[in-house]
Amino acid sequence: MSAYKSGFLQVLAERGFIHQVSDAGGLDAKAAAGPITAYVGFDATAPSLHIGNLLTIMMLRWLQKTGHRPIALMGGGTSKIGDPSGKDTSRTLLTADQIDANIASIRTVFSRFLDFGAGAIMANNADWLDQLHYIPFLRDVGRHFTINKMLTFDSVKLRLDREQPLTFLEFNYMILQAYDFVELHNRHGCILQMGGSDQWGNIVNGIDLGRRLAGAELFALTTPLLTTSSGAKMGKTETGAVWLNAEMMRPYDYWQFWRNCEDGDVGRLLKLFTELPLDEIARLAALKGQELNDAKKVLATEAARRTFEEGALAETLPSVEIPRARLEAGLGVLAAFVEAGLVSSNGEARRHVKGGGLRVNDVTVSDEKMVLTPDHLTPEGVIKLSLGRKRHVLLKPT
């Protein structure tokens, strides 16, 4: 069990989010004493985020669910440069209009994970970076950074080790990121920056700059690199990145990505990307053989539901394809819900029927012996299965 006293760090530790913390004891004490404000920075270099970003989005969500205030910081200013971390070449420079359009598109993802009406903030660092004057910024901020130290950071060192060019423009990125931390502290009382493990050096820079400029006590927390159990970097498919916007990735393909995860990753991914109780996750992760596929369906449905369903149209719901012949022969409603991954067994489906928790095309299922046929297809050619108010899957005959 976690030794943390704050609910926030307890959750992160138990679910496997924590890789490094700059001062775990100090941060835990502040989070246990009352609400804190924390942020994660996101590039606006594409119209959508991807599942690598989903890891830190889930941390912001848990932050809010445990009583604290999250800030999703969009890089409206820094995206004009591009983060060199993990890149062998410079990013294509975007116009201000392109960046603004990307931010508007990305906001739809955050709205499904964070409650902006309950205190969550979506900030844009262009609000302050675009106002900076070059010489005063160099005098006030640049003097606190040494070239010697900057050359040791992975975002710089790895590019140079590969003998790839690093522009002076990109070299400034880490200074601007550090300055973001100080600005968010001054504007919103933010004391914690979270990010991927490759951001550790940049975040620590911000901690140091906050101490020098404002005498602030700031903290860093990073997540592990998201890899599969076989060691491959997670988040890529044969067709490219796994995006979080339905305009860039079909919800069914997104669902299928999670459904096809490696057997050894099921438990870890359920902890990181769903809000299922840990004891239920342990039960699902312990399944063997064919039954493990049921756990994968639960993972896929939970991940897709949060990312695509809330506030989305029915046609963007996660889908499961079934042979049309099965529907024409009559598909038992209990088996249909198991097939869709909404429940793990006929027995579980039967219990939900008794409680009025299952619906077909938004009509409550009252008969556990109900049989689905082509007559149940909607005008769109699907059957909508629902468990409770927020979990939905479309059956699509093929």
Query: Could you tell me what percent of the chain has a pLDDT over 90?
Result: 58
78-87, 191-200, 237-246: which range is least confident on average?
A: 78-87
Residue 183 identity (one-letter amino acid): E
Q: What are 257's two structure tokens? A: 């990505």
Q: Cα separation of 167 and 364, whole Å?
A: 61
Residue 86 has pLDDT above 60, yes or no: no
pLDDT tens column, 364-379:
899 999 999 998 987 6
- Nearby residues of 249 by Cβ (< 8 Å), 6 or more positions away: 48, 242, 243
Q: Does 83 score more than 50 pLDDT? A: yes
Q: Please, what is the angle between helix 266-273 and helix 7-15, to 10°?
A: 160
Using pLDDT thresholds of 50, 70 and 90, give the confidence band for residue 82: low
Strands 37-42 and 69-74: parallel
Residue 89, pLDDT above cutoff 90:
no
Give 169-200 pLDDT, tens digit per residue: 778 888 999 999 999 999 999 999 999 998 99
For 72, phi then psi, to 5°, come to -95, 110
CA gap 248, 199 in Å, rounded? 26
The per-residue pLDDT for 312 is 40
Provide CB contacts within 8 A for 24, sequence distance 6+: 4, 9
Provide mean pLDDT across the span 41-70.
95
CA torsion, points 395, 108, 296, 285, in degrees to nearest 10?
Answer: -150
Q: Is the pLDDT of residue 2 over 70?
A: no
Residue 134: band (very low, low, confident or very high) from pLDDT cuts 50, 70, 90? confident
The pTM (predicted TM-score) of the whole model is 0.75
Read off the pLDDT of residues 257-312 as tens digits, 9 standing for 90 and up: 898 899 999 999 999 999 999 999 999 999 998 899 889 988 988 888 777 654 34
Residue 206 has pLDDT above 70, yes or no: yes
**Mean pLDDT within 83-109:** 78
Q: In whole angstroms, what separates CA 200 from the centre of its chain?
A: 18
Closest CA to 244 of 54, 43, 39, 44: 54
pLDDT tens by residue, 138-162: 889 989 988 888 888 777 877 777 7
The pLDDT tens digits of the residues spanning 20-53 come to 999 999 999 999 999 999 999 998 989 999 998 9
